[in-house]
Amino acid sequence: MATLLRKIGLIRLHNRDTEDPKHHHNHRGGGQQSASLRGKGGAKSGGHKQQQQQQQQQQHPGGAGDASPGPGKGKGKRAAEVAPRDKAPAAAAAAAGAAGAGGPRDRAAGARAGPGPAVAAATGGSLVPAARQQHCTQVRSRRLMKELQDIARLSDRFISVELVDESLFDWNVKLHQVDKDSVLWQDMKETNTEFILLNLTFPDNFPFSPPFMRVLSPRLENGYVLDGGAICMELLTPRGWSSAYTVEAVMRQFAASLVKGQGRICRKAGKSKKSFSRKEAEATFKSLVKTHEKYGWVTPPVSDG
């Protein structure tokens, strides 16, 4: 029995000496192997991260700091990327607007800006909208139609009107009567002159601007009738004109001026047959208007008419 017990004790000691060192060795070797594996894995992941950083540095030469910019840097970078994209449409829109191919807003802005230099130069620097021009034409036409009707109803047949080429805006007016006590009336009787013929052209903005009036025949001297048949009367100028003046009133004032200025029918040989010209009349009228604007107009006393 004692022998058996000793054998069992020897067996246990043998197992402890033989198996336990292996077990401890394997356990330590396993720990070292796992540590080695972890070291290799960490080295691999570290190498992978290093490769990613190198690729990012190649794509963004700004440096490793740009790979993960802060809030300020990110906004600046996005703004820098958006700016070129915004500039291209703006430049395209500007070019399209310059070429007249812009959108509705561009065309509306162009319409508010008014006509281009070429259009303004072609129209003399003033371009009246179509609607306004049509309105002015209607006002002028209605006023002149009324004037014609009033003249046709005159009982004393003081004046008569003929349209030039059927144009409502170009009249030939015949002045049939002047003061019968004047030398001009005597000249008309002696020369068998039935009337004094005048031409009136009405501008687009009549009755707010005066008509241009000139004498056609006969050739007159004095009486405020100047070269070309131009008439020196303040009420025929923009400063002296009023929209309340009628053609009849203007003609009566002209008849009074002829008498007051001692107008006569020219009877000089050769000169009496020379006709007045519109071009000469316009040039003379412009000159006298400038002269009177500089030195003023002389208003006759009321007793002189």
Half-sphere exposure for 73 (CA within 13 Å, toward CB):
7
CA dihedral 8, 14, 20, 23 (to 10 degrees): -110
> Cα-flanking dihedrals φ and ψ of residue 246, to 5°?
-105, 165
Q: Under a CB-based contact definition with an 8 Å cutoff, are residues 153 and 246 in contact?
A: no
Residue 39 and residue 33: Cα distance in Å, rounded? 10
Q: What does the radius of gyration of the chain's CA atoms come to, in whole angstroms?
A: 54
Neighbouring CB atoms inside 10 A of 259's CB total 17
Q: From the candidates 151, 178, 232, 289, which is the catalytic residue?
A: 232
User: Is 136 tagged catalytic?
Assistant: no
Neighbouring CB atoms inside 10 A of 270's CB total 6
Q: Do β-strands 212-217 and 196-201 pair in parallel, antiparallel, or remain unpaired?
A: antiparallel
Q: Under a CB-based contact definition with an 8 Å cutoff, are residues 193 and 218 in contact?
A: yes
Residues in the chain: 305
Encode burial over 48-75: b for 16+ CB neighbours within 10 A, e otherwise. Answer: eeeeeeeeeeeeeeeeeeeeeeeeeeee
Residue 294 and residue 224: Cα distance in Å, rounded? 19
Catalytic residue numbers read 232
